[in-house]
Amino acid sequence: MSRHEAAEQYEKALASGKRCYRECVHAGRYPYLQALDELIDETEVRGYESIGLVEVPMELVVGTRVAGRRNAFAANFMPLLGEQSEFAYKWTSLCEAHLSDEGIRDPVEAYEYLGRFYVQEGNKRVSVLKSFGAASVTGTVTRVLPSWSDDEAFRVYEEFLRFYALSRTYLVRFSHEGRYARLQEALGFEANHVWTDDERKVFSAAFHRFGAALASLKKESEGVTTAEALLAWLSAYPVSALRTMSQKELEASIAGMAADISSAASGPHMAVSSEPAGANLAVVSRIVDTVVPHGPLRVAFAHESDPAGSPWLEAHERGREYLEQALAGQVTTSSHAPSAGETPEDAMERAAQDGADVIIATTPTLMASCRRVAADHPGVKVLDCSPFAPSAGVRTFYGRMYEPYFIAGAIAGAVSGAADVGLVADSPETAAVCELDAFALGVELTNPTARVLLRWGGGDDDAFDELATGGSRVICHCGTTARQGTSDVEGLYLVSGGRLELLAVPVWNWGSFYARLVGGILGGSWDSGLVRGDAVSYWWGMRSGVVDLRLGQGLPEGCRVLAELLRRDIMAGDFDVFCRRVERQDGTLFCDGSHGPDLKEIVAMDFLCSRIDGELPRVEAQQLGVGVR
């Protein structure tokens, strides 16, 4: 680059600096570089840490260490002094060197505070590089450690420091707790895995490629950082897709997840449907032609395996058959399970390509596949039967099964006497924690001294047998993967003389649910009252008829009367299962009993109550909760 060309570059940078200065003044913002020494004092610093040579993202270089000559730069690091100044001469000389064989080689010296960088030496070097749109600058960095605080910003920064110790990258920045750990997991790394140099380089390349694709879709990505958008995208797509997708495919996948990405910064607003909208199925036939021009609504059910081998999936198949009969002429249904060599997602993709208007997945483990299918087929309505939080692109549905489990707990407490009560849950990946807590609270209602012993069953008899031989007189199996012909069939059992007597069993009525849900789609209530980005979850209870408790023939009469009274009051809306004092295992208070938690808080429960002896595996706590995973 000639001296003349360097001078022209300075003129462009100067114009940019003056424009930034004017815009800041008009907007009431500070028009010069921020000086770190004026932002903090020593009472806000707990120490300094040299972290050596770092590749610093240019967007994070926001100011200077000391006031000094900060007035020579606008807030965007572009110059403000005239072309004839000594400052302009030095800037132009650096500009010449930047694109010559010599280049700008010396690293800058900078201080990092709360993830932002303030330059000690090399402000003009940063200015020259920024004028050319450089993505990063090499710097020798000293980290300023803030004093301890309970602010979320401080807690998030502490999470970043742990993440940085593993990754050694400043590319990723989040503003909410838990997301660094989720990214580490989404990338396929163990929680404490230290990245290799090659892993860091591969991630950096993939991150910049994703950022370029995101930037090309400004409407979808407005206000969302690359890191936030990437984490949302990784909830549907594997990290390997960043290498295998073409740029066009990557952009299409990002566009397909626009709703999830647009809400990534703050997390989606969760809309919980507690009761059916009351669709009148009798009028559906009169509007179906305007709602679905091609004729009957095509509803595809997607299973993770052959329904014949699972009572849970068989129940959904019966619900599908009921739906087709209840809305005959308005709806056609199909059942899709993976054939040999296929994945469940392959079956879902086949359903979408066959023209499905609605795809309903029947197990929580299919959520990631649902998100990918929804992104690839934005015209298809996709739902997953899951107790976990939905995304903006995939709705979830589940029954308030915690209501019948509370009644089952009350029966268990009444029958158990002096013995502790056993509780078997299938797996952390499929359990709804509120059901476990509700059961324990039911036990407490009728037997305040009994403990609930929680074991994770995993689909075999071992956990059940362990509780039975350990002295539990009453055992409840809470789960969705129970198999016929074993003691792991869902329900509440009395252990007597080596035999099991069924006292009560929670039941699902999926046909009622599907008829009402699909009837609502046909009736036009799918998006009623919602805004773009809402994450919708249907949690209908005993009052809707979706869930209930069937009582065993051998249940003592007093327990039967108690169960019927609780059932009646719950269905009438006069009894709130969680409107009572509820303590977590660590002794903290979830509810004081003056009023019950709202449904969103119940859906998001990620703790075991103090009545339960057992633990919640780490994976469970990460997966549950509004806006989580």
> What percentage of residues in the chain have a pLDDT greater than 70?
89
Residues in the chain: 629
Residues 6+ apart with CB under 8 A from 233: 210, 253, 254, 257, 260, 261
Nearest to 95 by CA among 130, 66, 60, 71: 130
Name 493's bridge partners.
Answer: 475, 502
Instruction: Of 167, 169, 95, 160, give the one whose Cα is nearest residue 134.
Output: 95
Q: Tell me, what's the pLDDT at 365? A: 87
Does the pLDDT value for residue 387 go beyond 60? yes
SS3 of residue 147 by DSSP? coil
Q: Of 113-117, 370-374, 433-437, 533-537, which range is least confident?
A: 533-537
- Find out whether 384 and 367 touch, Cβ atoms under 8 Å: yes
Lowest mean pLDDT among 482-491, 520-529, 551-560: 482-491
- Per DSSP bridges, beta strands 581-583 and 612-613 are unpaired
Mapped to the 3 state alphabet, what secondary structure does 262-317 carry? HCCCCCCCEEEECCCCCCCHHHHHHHHHHHCCCCCEEEEEECCCCHHHCHHHHHHH
Residue 619 or 139, more confident = 139
Instruction: Dump pLDDT digits (tens) for 511-528.
Output: 989 998 999 888 887 877
Q: How far is CA 567 from the centre of its chain?
A: 33
Q: Which parts of 523-624 fold into alpha helices (H)?
A: 557-572, 599-603, 618-623
The span from the CA of 353 to the CA of 336, in Å, is 12
Classify residue 341 as left (phi > 0), alpha (psi -120 to 50) or beta. left
In tens, the pLDDT along 54-99 reads 999 999 999 999 887 778 999 999 999 998 899 999 999 998 888 7
Residue 174 CA, distance from chain mean position? 14
Residue type at 579?
C
Q: End-to-end CA distance of the chain, in Å?
A: 50
| Confidence label for 435 from pLDDT (cuts 50, 70 and 90) | very high
Can you tell me the distance from the alpha carbon of 284 to that of 519, in angstroms, rounded to the nearest whole number? 7
User: 545 vs 436, 495, 514, 574, CA distance in Å?
Assistant: 21, 30, 12, 16
The pLDDT mean for the chain works out to: 86
CA-to-CA distance for 164 and 171, rounded, in angstroms?
A: 10
Per-residue confidence band for 623, with pLDDT thresholds at 50, 70 and 90: very low
For residue 283, is pLDDT > 60? Answer: no
∠195-198-203 over CA atoms, to 5°?
75
Q: With left for phi above 0 and alpha for psi between -120 and 50, is residue 405 left, alpha or beta? A: alpha
Give the mean pLDDT of 367-383: 91
Q: Closest Cα partner for 186 from 134, 240, 265?
A: 240
Rounded to whole angstroms, what are the CA distances from 463 to 45, 411, 426, 482, 564? 52, 21, 10, 13, 30
Distance CA 103, CA 96 (A): 8
Q: How far is CA 486 from CA 460, 462, 463, 483, in A?
A: 8, 11, 12, 6
Helix (H) or strand (E) holding 512: helix 510-522
- What is the token pair recorded at 498? 């080596």
CB-side neighbour CA atoms (13 Å) of 18: 8
pLDDT at 461 over 80: no
Residues 495, 335 contacting (CB under 8 angstroms): no
Q: Is residue 221 pLDDT above 60, yes or no?
A: no
Which structure tokens are listed for 134?
């450089």
Query: Model-level pTM?
Result: 0.71
List of domains in the chain: 1-148 (3.90.1530.10), 155-267 (no CATH), 270-399+513-522 (3.40.50.2300), 402-507+539-623 (3.40.50.2300)
* pLDDT recorded at residue 532: 61
% of the chain residues with pLDDT over 90: 55
Residue 531 reports pLDDT greater than 70: no
Identify the band that residue 530 occupies on the pLDDT scale cut at 50, 70 and 90.
low
Q: How far is CA 200 from CA 156, 158, 194, 231, in A?
A: 22, 21, 10, 17
Q: How far apart are CA 329 and CA 332, in angstroms?
A: 7
The 8-class DSSP code of residue 107 comes to P
* Four-residue CA torsion sign, 403, 407, 412, 413: positive
Percentage helix, strand, coil for the chain under 3-state DSSP, each rounded to 5: 45, 20, 35
Separation of alpha carbons 355 and 240, rounded Å: 28
Listed in order, strand segments (DSSP E) in 393-445 are: 395-399, 421-425
Instruction: Report the SS3 class of residue 477.
Output: strand
Instruction: List the structure tokens of 476.
Output: 């409840």
Residue located via tokens 């609605």: 358
Say if residues 356 and 296 touch (Cβ distance below 8 Å). no
CA separation, residue 502 to residues 476, 477, 495, 537 (Å): 10, 11, 9, 32
pLDDT exceeds 60 at position 293: no
Query: Which residues does 480 contact at the CB level (< 8 Å), separation at least 6?
Result: 312, 363, 426, 430, 490
Per-residue pLDDT band at 459 (split at 50, 70, 90)? low
pLDDT for 389: 66
Could you say which DSSP state residue 292 is in? Answer: -
Residue 277's pLDDT is 64
Helices and strands, number each (H, E), in the chain: 23, 22
Model confidence over 90-123: pLDDT tens digits? 999 998 888 787 777 789 999 999 999 999 999 9
CA–CA separation, 236 and 349 (whole Å): 14
Enclosing H/E stretch for 423 = strand 421-425
